Amino acid sequence: MTKLRPLFFVVLLALILPARANEVVFPAGSRIGIAPPPGTVESRSFMGFEDPSRNVAITVTGLPPEAYPQIEQSITRQQPGVTIERRESLTLAAGKAVLLVAHQLVDGIGFHRWILAASAGDLTAVVTFQIPDDARNAYPDDALRSAAGSLAIRPSVPIEEQLGLLPFKVAELAGFQVAGVLPGRSLMLASEEGRAQLVVSVMPGGPVQANDRALFANDVFAGIPNLRDVRIFSSEPLRIGGQQGYQIMARGKDASTGADLTIVQWMRFGAGVYMHILGAARTEDWTAAYPRFRQVRDGIDAP
């Protein structure tokens, strides 16, 4: 029995590994996924997959649905240094698609490029494969075609996954919905009816001297778009989460609708970065919205 164990495990792995290789993987924060070719891993520097040792890159990009007809019409246009090998129309589980296979020279280095665009309901999915000529043996056309054919779209990105893309932790959403995430930078929250919104961003820089914080905060506030008839009624320093901060409160109007708004801006200053928190609500909803804004603010673990 002992002699058979190695063979048993070899057979077991042979059964398991192909299934794993064919699994669709969604890069963090993306609704678009593929079964990546063996040898690639999810990239930490862009949305997609890579094999750093061979300079292989596979990027996934989501565009508005109206982008697909434009891509379909323009995908075969000649570009300097690009030789188009073939163009194919495909029908995938995600929707109709077009595939362009080309060869490109970049600084004297040849790359095999596959560009797949698919019309997938409420978005256009674009997957680009970039394979250096000297990596073609490791990434043959069959492997790329299998990966392209596995294209899948999920209905949404889980909230926890979206929040995991931020450089800060949010312990409390205070009943707000996640309206958008800019990976590595910003979070937008909104009430269910959209009458209150809160945007939390982390930015590099900020004033070095404490005496410059008030001027800096007012300059940032003055640059907020889509507001008119703004009147500041409170402007003062305060501590936020144990760090130096600054608060500005104002009233104004929504530039597009003319609705009366009450606005709060909090700035939280760290070492080489600052956090900008901007909350706005219809003035008649302010009394209910403001404590919720503070709940979110006080539950943020800043970098």
205-238 pLDDT per residue, tens: 999 888 999 999 999 999 999 999 999 999 999 9
For 34, the token pair is 């593929």
Question: What whole-number distance in Å separates Cα of residue 28 and Cα of residue 171?
Answer: 20
* CATH label, 159-301, candidates 3.40.50.10190, 3.40.1000.10, 3.40.50.970, 3.40.50.1970: 3.40.1000.10
Q: Which CATH class is domain 17-153?
A: alpha beta
Identical fold for domains 17-153 and 159-301, yes or no, is yes
Q: What ranges do the domains of the chain cover?
A: 17-153, 159-301
Question: What are the residues facing 275 on neighbouring strands?
Answer: 202, 268
Q: What pLDDT is stored for residue 77 in this prediction?
A: 73
Q: What pLDDT is stored for residue 80 in this prediction?
A: 73
40-90 pLDDT per residue, tens: 999 988 999 999 999 999 999 999 999 999 998 887 776 777 889 999 999
For 212, the token pair is 């410059």
1 pLDDT band, cuts 50/70/90, is very low
| Range list of H helices, the chain | 5-21, 67-74, 141-149, 159-163, 213-222, 286-298
Q: Is the pLDDT of residue 115 over 50?
A: yes
Residue 192 burial class via C-beta count within 10 angstroms: exposed 0-12, middle 13-18, buried 19 and up: exposed
Query: In the structure, how many helices (H) and strands (E) does the chain have?
Result: 6, 18
